[in-house]
Amino acid sequence: MSNQWQRQPAEVFSRSKVVPVMVINKLEDAVPLAKALVAGGISILEVTLRTDCAIEAIRAISKAVPEALIGAGTVLTPEQLDAAIEAGAQFAISPGTTPTLLQAAKQRSIPLVPGVASVSDMMVALENGYDHLKFFPAEANGGVKALTSMSGPMLQITFCPTGGINLGNYQEYLALKNVKCVGGSWIAPNDAIESGDWQRITALSKEALA
Ligand SMILES: O=C(O)C(=O)C[C@H](O)[C@H](O)COP(=O)(O)O
């Protein structure tokens, strides 16, 4: 948590039970994809910085879809964080935790949700004042069982598990008391984006929120 931030991570986590992880390969897909998710009731969007056009996709979505809270995912460095902020990102998510990124992000204007995979990562995050964390990769790291075990020693932490989550298991995560939302790409699948099947993405969003 940082006083510099325009909003706190708790607000980001409260926005939606499901955070779509968006991998955008073609800039022209960015706005239709965002609109398809919003049409399905999703009001938070995470664009991963894994593709060449990701920063421009954030810029385009933040202008064209202002009703959604737009964030950057896969933020690995302070430089990427700065690029995302400049493009209009309102929050940032990283897959892992480094002291460099955690300390830099406290001096920026938007909240960072660091990724953690182990109790040691969680302790580093807590030491740096971060208690809203992404548990990644959730399924590969023990999933619901691991998070249940964490609720004892890591009492202060609220998680957004991501990685391997889908329609078949997301409700089990959301039932945990230390989980507020889940992340996943299942509501924005690559084949639907490639074929411009925006109706399917809207339907998947509605199904996830039902
Ligand atoms: O790019 C990042 O920063 C990540 O952390 C990876 C994503 O969160 C996962 O790829 C989503 O997982 P799936 O829903 O299983 O596709």
Q: List pLDDT tens digits, range 47-77.
A: 999 999 999 999 999 999 999 999 999 999 9
Q: Residue 2 — pLDDT band, cuts 50, 70, 90?
A: confident
Distance CA 131, CA 182 (A): 16
Instruction: Specify the CATH number for the domain of residue 45.
Output: 3.20.20.70
Give per-residue pLDDT as tens, 178-199. 999 999 999 999 999 999 999 9
Q: Catalytic residue among 17, 35, 46, 180, which? A: 46
What's the rounded Cα separation, in Å, for the pair 165 and 82? 29
In a domain, 1, yes or no: no
Tell me the pTM. 0.96
Asked whether residue 1 carries a pLDDT value surpassing 90, the answer given is: no
How many residues are given for the chain? 210
Residue 125 CA to ligand 1 centre (angstroms): 20
Ligand 1 contacts CB of residue 114 (under 6 A): no
Q: Is residue 26 among the annotated active site residues? A: no
46 is catalytic: yes
**Residue 40 included in any domain:** yes
Total count of domains within the chain: 1
Answer yes or no: is the C-beta of 48 below 6 A from any ligand 1 atom: yes
Q: Please name the residue ranges forming H helices in the chain.
A: 9-14, 30-39, 54-64, 78-87, 99-105, 119-127, 143-150, 170-174, 190-194, 198-209
Three-class SS of 66-115: CCCEEEEECCCCHHHHHHHHHHCCCEEECCCCCHHHHHHHCCCCCCEECE
Residue 110 belongs to domain spanning = 9-209
Report the separation in Å between the CA atom of 23 and the middle of ligand 1, taken as the mean of its atom positions: 9
> Is 133 part of a structural domain of the chain?
yes
In a domain, 3, yes or no: no
**Ligand 1 centroid to 123 CA: how many Å?**
22
The mean per-residue pLDDT over the stretch 15-28 comes to 98
ipTM confidence score:
0.94
Closest to 29 (Cα-Cα) out of 161, 160, 201: 201
Please tell me if the CB atom of residue 161 comes closer than 6 angstroms to any atom of ligand 1: no
